[in-house]
Amino acid sequence: MLCILASSLLIFPFHETNKKLELHVTFDKTEYYPGELGTISITVKNNYDRKIRIVGIKIKFDWEQAYTKLKQSEIVKPHAISVPFSHNFNVPTNISYETNHSCKVIVEYKIRIEILGIVIYEEPFFANKQEEITENLWIENPQKRIIEKDLEDLRIEINNAKIYDFKSEDALYKLQDAERKYELARNAFNSRDWEKARSYIREAVNLIKEAYKKESEYWIIHAKDELKDALDYRFFFDESKNRIEQAEEEIRFAEVRYSTSDFRDSIEHAKESISLIKEAYSIEERLWKQNSDIAKRKLDSAKDFIEKAEKNPLVWIWIFNFKNALVKLNEAEEAYQKSDYHDAYFLSLDAISIAEKAREQADNLLIVAILELFIGIVLKFLIKLSNKTVFLIMVLVLIILYFILYFTW
């Protein structure tokens, strides 16, 4: 019975002329660049009421001379979709771009005739049926990929600069200008004006560099001002003095980096310098609290010195300097009462220095007075001499001696 039915099917083949395959072609990217690798995927939907067997797939891009044949053998059930068939391809480097290129796909297949699950034959018997489709793929200008990457790098640079939190107003203005140039570059990119986009990107990059330069200048000046104040502060302890020396070194590094246009590193060194100066103040304050007796001893020493100086009546001739010493001593006592041991120590030191200067001036005045008295006595004796030449020579010697002694003391 099966033999009779099979014979009848061979004489009268099954045809479904109003139904065919549906081919779907997709690419792994929406656009490709010259020299780039890509992948094409092909799926087949069987619209027949019978199974089909895919026997081969041929692919040909418009830059190729011949088809690429893929050996396939897959059974697709009625109204079912095949698994995707993939093929890797390479876009030539010398291909035309900013245009579509075509890809033609041909699927060869046979309609399978089965009875009770047994394959009787495949139609057509001697040849293959074919279904073809042509799809386009866009080949992009290589400049787009370069500029697209430059735009992304610029966006990251601007965001990093914002996070950096500029303090310099000049730097902030430069950064704002860079953001505007970035938006102009994006607009030019979207309009496919590659040259204009590239020009705006260059301007934005230069503005960001200028922003870091201005910020570097700001921090170097700020660090130098902090260092100047620190040097005037007169640190006492070696540990805090070491921090100031390190801060000076960091400022030198900042200036060197600035001179080589490494502005970001310059900023970091300047900031580190300021941090070290703050640390020096903190160390100084901590150590003075631990060693307040040093300030107390210096304050007591200043009091004793000034008390002794006050007993010298000639000191009051230089009343202005001596009063300054008393003012410094009072300030030292107030500082000590406020637990500001650093100021108490150095104000006491200043009081001693001023009082000592007043005492030296008083001593010098006494010596000059004695000298003048001596010269007066000698002159009175010389006047009695009859030899005028000897008299004049002796007077000249006394005058010279007077000035030497005066300015020496």
Give me the domain span that covers residue 21: 2-140
Q: What angle do CA 132, 135, 138 make, to 5 degrees?
A: 160
Residue 351: which pLDDT band, with cuts at 50, 70 and 90?
A: confident
Judge if 304 and 280 occupy the same domain: no
Judge if 7 and 66 occupy the same domain: yes
Question: For 355-380, what is each residue's pLDDT tens digit?
Answer: 777 666 655 655 555 655 566 666 56
Q: Is residue 389 part of a domain?
A: no
Residue 37: left if φ>0, alpha if ψ -120 to 50, beta else—which one?
beta
Question: For 32-71, what is each residue's pLDDT tens digit?
Answer: 999 999 999 999 999 998 999 999 999 999 999 999 998 7
Distance (Å, whole) CA 209 – CA 183: 18
Distance (Å, whole) CA 21 – CA 349: 104
Cα 328 from chain centroid (whole Å): 48
The tokens describing 147, both together, are: 């500029």
Q: Which residues contact 394 (CB under 8 A, 6 or more apart)?
A: 378, 382
Q: What are phi and psi of 142, to 5 degrees?
A: -55, -25
pLDDT of residue 4: 42
Q: Which of 219, 228, 225 is nearest to 257 (CA)?
A: 219
**pTM (predicted TM-score):** 0.68
Q: Is residue 79 part of a domain?
A: yes
Q: Which of 223, 328, 314 is nearest to 277 (CA)?
A: 223
Judge if 158 and 175 occupy the same domain: yes
Q: What is the total count of domains within the chain?
A: 3
CATH for 61: 2.60.40.10
